[in-house]
Every structure is written in C-alpha cells, then in structure tokens.
Amino acid sequence: MRIIFMGTPEFAVPCLKSLLDAGHDVCAVFTQPDKPKGRGYALTPPPVKELAVQHGIEVFQPTTLRTAEAAETVRGLNPEVIVVVAYGKILPKAILDIPALGCINVHASLLPKYRGAAPIQWSVINGEKVTGVTTMYMAEGLDTGDMLLTDKTEIGPDETSGELHDRLSLMGAQLIVKTLHAVENGTAKRIPQTDENTCYASMLSKELSRIDWSKQANEIHNLIRGLSPWPTASTIYNDKILKVHRSKIVDGYTGNAGQIADLTGSFIVCCGEGTAIELVEVQYEGGKRMGGKDFLRGHPADIGTILR
C-alpha cells in the first residue's frame, strides 16, 4: 500500500520499520521539527526522521497541519492510507479526508480506556494489571474513532512505564501490519467506541513527582514505576532532592510515614497505613543512579530519619 507515515518519538520507530519490512510503499514521513537537546542545545532530529533518512524516505516537518499548504502537500503525495503513531499533532478534517482508506492510528492502550497523551504511564500509575495497543480509524475527536484490532498484555508488578513502553511499541509494530492487511483485503471490522469506562490520560508534568509518604506503599510503588524514566518520582533527603527510579513493596515494617526503617541491608521507608517500601534504585541531586544499598553506604543516615 502507498502510505504516509506520521510519527515522532522512539515509540513510533518499530511501527515504521515494520511497514518497510512488510514491503509497503512509505512515500513520505511527517514528523515534528528538530529540537535542541543536550548541554550544547544542538538541533536533534526525532528518532522517526533518523530512520526515514536511512531509508531515503522524503521527510516533512511542518509546525502545523492546519494550513492549505499542508493539505495540498499531503494530497499531492496521493496516499492510500495515512498511519499515525505518536505524531504529537492533531490532524484536521482536511487531512483526515484525503486518503481513500482513511487515517489509522496506533494507540498504546485498550481503548476506550486511557485516551490522551500518556496512556502507558497512567496505566502503571493507576495500578492496572492489563493493558495493550489498539489500532483505530482516526476521527476529529481525541482517540474517539472506530477501533480495528487490539492486542493485550499483562503489566508486571514491578515493571516501569519505560519497560512497558518498549514492549508496547513492538506489539504496535506487529498490530499495524495485521491491521493494514485486513484493510487492504476488505476484512477489517470497525468497532465503534463508547464512552463507558473511558478515562483521559493527561500529559505528565514534574508536579506529579513528589512522593506523598502518607499514601500506602502500593500507590507509591505505582507512582515510582509509572514516572520512570520521566519525570521520575522524588523525595527530599537531607534537604536535597532524591529521585527514586525503582522500588519494591516489602512487609514487616511499621513506623511514621516517610521514616527510614532499616539501614542494615536495604533502604526501607515506611508508608501510610502500616505499609513499607524498599528504594531499590535512587539518584541523589547532582549524582548518578545507584542501588539503594550503595547510596546509604555513601550517605549514612539514622533509623528514624524522615524523608519528605
């Protein structure tokens, strides 16, 4: 099929690669503009652009698709279908109406649950046991179009959103190929979404990072793994920020919320309602990531010290 691919971050890369491996004609890639990164703020291309350039695919990086020029560019490419994966821009109706076989999106949740920008992270933060990917026809609403195919997976009890992200990106790559095969041979079935059981997965912000130690250990554990690798859960230790990248729920400790309960073998902190958690991997302000035990060896504390 003749395809325009629209995507930007690492999550979209396996999908583009799978379309190329399946022999589809990806005639163009639309992606976000290059952005300054690193200490030198050098302009850095999005991961999708890097793959497109490697394969000699024409790349477009408009700041918006809501112009007559953008619509004319897409129309001139004459795509049969547009595939959208984490593009980061809303497609207006003028673009949605161009391809004869529609615009198909790969979304990292089991729709209609977790529509929005951060479905992977919120599924972990909210303690979901199962998630997946959904392919859907795009409509003018936010992730509201008719569904096509889904693929489910269990979320591991200690799995971070970063680890889940990588797994779902590979699942999405397989699912989009199956979806396009069904669309091409006319066997694709449209499943209308309902608003029942839906919820919105809003964009993450650093304001979510601070750990509230009065909450139960399972809530804190879910926040820590849901915010890993970004923006990362954090607490205050000796008046400095301590980021927490990994944790584990433990039993047998009681104390005040935020109180360090064990220093002999692990970095154990008391949480609300008689629960406790081990800080498995941490990062002190200005320092490197390290195991909780290693951190305590270099930054000794007393049992009873309160994290806040």
DSSP assignment of 104-123 equals: EEEESSSTTTTEES-HHHHH
Strand partners, 231: none
- CA-to-CA distance for 1 and 182, rounded, in angstroms? 12
Q: Quote the pLDDT of residue 179.
A: 98
Contact partners, residue 210, CB within 8 Å, separation at least 6: 233, 234, 235
* Cα angle: 301, vertex 303, 306; to 5 degrees: 80
Q: Torsions phi, psi of 223, nearest 5? A: -65, -45
- Please tell me the pTM assigned to this model: 0.94
- CA-to-CA distance for 255 and 271, rounded, in angstroms? 8
Q: Which residues of the chain have pLDDT under 70?
A: none
Per-domain residue ranges of the chain: 2-201, 206-298
Q: Quote the pLDDT of residue 198.
A: 83
Q: Quote the pLDDT of residue 299.
A: 84
Here the tokens at position 79 are: 């795509």
Q: Quote the pLDDT of residue 303.
A: 79
Here the tokens at position 73 are: 């560019």
Contact partners, residue 178, CB within 8 Å, separation at least 6: 149
Pick the CATH number of 2-201 from 3.40.50.1100, 3.40.190.290, 3.40.50.170, 3.30.870.10: 3.40.50.170
**Termini Cα distance of the chain:** 56
DSSP single-letter state for residue 222: H
Q: Quote the pLDDT of residue 214.
A: 97
Distances (CA, A) of 20 to 59, 61, 134, 167, 199: 15, 20, 20, 20, 34
Q: Quote the pLDDT of residue 143.
A: 86
- CA-to-CA distance for 147 and 217, rounded, in angstroms? 36
Contact partners, residue 179, CB within 8 Å, separation at least 6: 104, 135, 148, 149, 188
Closest-CA residue to 73 (of 88, 58, 57): 58
Closest-CA residue to 70 (of 40, 30, 122, 19): 30
Q: Which fold has domain 206-298?
A: Methionyl-tRNA Fmet Formyltransferase; Chain A, domain 2 (3.10.25)
Q: Is the dihedral of CA 64, 66, 69, 75 positive or negative?
A: positive
Q: Quote the pLDDT of residue 199.
A: 87
Alpha helices by DSSP H, 40-160: 47-54, 68-77, 93-96, 119-125
Residues 198/115, Cβ–Cβ less than 8 Å: yes
For the CA atoms of 123, 129, 132, 136, the dihedral, rounded to the nearest 10 degrees, stands at -70
